[in-house]
Amino acid sequence: MTGIPLLIVFCLAIILMIVAISKFHIHPFLSLMGTSLVLAVVVGLPLEKIPGIIGSGFSGVFSSIGIVIILGALIGLILEKTGAAIRLADVVIRFVGEKHPQLALMLMGWIVSIPVFCDSGFVILNPIRKALCRKLKGASPAGMAVALSAGLYAAHVFIPPTPGPIAAAGSLGLADHLAGVILAGVIASVPALAAAYIFSLYIAKKDISVHADEKESPDTEKSYEELVAGFGKLPGAFSSFAPIVIPVILMALGSFVSMIGLQGSSAVLCKFFATPIIALTVGLLLAVRLLVSTHTMNRFAAITDETLKTVGPILFVTAAGGVLGKVITAAGFVEFMKANAAFLSSVGIFFPFLISAILKTAQGSSTVAITTTAGIMGMYTDSASMMSALGLQSEMAALLTVMAIGAGAMTVSHANDSYFWVVTNFTGLDPQDGYRTQSMMTLVVGIVSMVSIFLASLVLL
């Protein structure tokens, strides 16, 4: 099958997948695998080759970024359970000061969500938000919730070791260049956070009421100082930051060694510690030290179990996205795209953003949107991938594509997104006000982020 019929079948396959996930509530893993199999048969791939195509697409993800995702998630959960995440938040509050509460909450969320899932991050930091609202008379609970949510969300979709960006990096061929992905994510966060901060100030001026939760814990009635003290002896600031910062430094050091052309045993050692698996293993060891210092080492096995249960579905959905990408390539869709390169060059970096935004809006999960879109795009070094068809064949193009996918995965959060309900319920917002705040914030931030990425592509590509 070639030409327009192939394009129509591809579009129908994407629609089938979205409907299966959002309408019939079939798990994304099964939806992706089923769509891949149906697409492979309908486009006429040789039946004897289909199992091999599915197997190679599935195994490729585990061999590239599976362990990295597990290590990153485990570090994040340890920071959460030991109170290190609260220490990170406390450092931000002391640095920014209470004169700019929305900025403080936004930066607090942004830092905490680098290792911790945004849903968990909001639950962890929401008591601090409430305590600050009580301490600062006249502060807008809705405006501060928007600021906190935006900070968490930006890191969640842009910056490893959050599973989504790691999975996207691996799928696009950047598994060994996570330091670059982290740097790109930090830079991409700047316009996103700026837009979110302005929007939060706008929301703060609106008359948006919040209602108290009848099941609210008495702890949330404490002052900010009492709340922090309630966690007992928190880990030190250096110990709390180390599991995040040290791996980034190691990966950056490896890139620097390669850039200056250093040779010898010292260069080999630096490059060894710079590989994402080893760098994050060092981060994990530093996180385990937090368990020892907080006398909670007996919880390590339970934390590991919880981590594996959390990242398991993410890994499988990521692998299923890799299968769909392989089937799309084998079906000749990329060749069709290359034949229409003149048109596609005008779409360029917007293509992954649009696919990710459609998937996000349709089925709700940012991680599923990121991993699925990345699987469709394929590796930038593969001449038969969608990246190649779009002319995105450099490492810089791949970095910007990861960011474009992340921007799309923010656009938009609404009723089918669990994070939407976490934010609205813990803030005390009615669903309609949730659309005015959380949903509109993700729309504004997603569009501003994509425009910024597009402008960057005009200079860098």
Alpha-carbon dihedral 271, 274, 278, 284, rounded to 10 degrees: 150
Distance, CA of 7 to CA of 338 (rounded, Å):
13
What is the pLDDT at residue 209? 83
When pLDDT is cut at 50, 70 and 90, the band that residue 103 belongs to is very high
pLDDT confidence band for 341 (50 / 70 / 90): low
Please state, in angstroms and rounded to a whole number, the distance separating the CA atoms of residues 400 and 394: 10
Average pLDDT (330-355) is 76
pLDDT of residue 340: 66
Secondary structure element (H or E) that encloses residue 78, with its range: helix 67-81
Query: How far is the C-alpha of 154 from the C-alpha of 140, rounded, in Å?
Result: 21
pLDDT tens for each residue of 302-322: 999 999 998 888 888 878 888
Q: Which two tokens stand for residue 102?
A: 């929305």
Amino acid at 300: F
Q: What is the dihedral of CA 264, 269, 274, 280, to 10 degrees?
A: 180
Average pLDDT of the chain?
Answer: 87
H or E element at residue 365: none
Query: What are the start-end ranges of the E strands in 186-291?
Result: none
The per-residue pLDDT for 344 is: 61
Residue 135 has pLDDT above 80, yes or no: no
Confidence at 216, pLDDT banded by 50, 70, 90: very low
> In sequence order, which ranges of 113-236 are alpha helices (DSSP H)?
118-135, 141-158, 163-171, 178-204, 224-229
CA–CA gap between residue 390 and residue 366 (Å, rounded): 23
User: How far is Cα 386 from Cα 179, in angstroms, rounded to an integer?
Assistant: 24
pLDDT band of 215, cuts 50, 70, 90: very low
Q: Which pLDDT belongs to residue 219?
A: 46
Question: What is the band of 49 on the pLDDT scale with cuts at 50, 70, 90?
Answer: very high
Single pTM value for the model: 0.82
pLDDT tens, residue by residue, 401-448 = 999 999 999 999 988 888 998 999 889 898 889 999 999 999 999 999
Count of beta carbons in the 10 Å neighbourhood of residue 255: 17
The pLDDT value recorded for residue 231 is 66
Query: Is pLDDT of 338 > 70?
Result: no
Give the model confidence (pLDDT) of 217-237 as tens digits: 444 456 666 766 766 778 999
149 vs 342 pLDDT, higher one: 149
Q: Taking residues 207-219, what's their average pLDDT? A: 62
Q: What Cα–Cα distance (Å) separates residue 19 from each residue in 358, 359, 411?
A: 12, 10, 18
**What is the reported pLDDT for 218?**
46
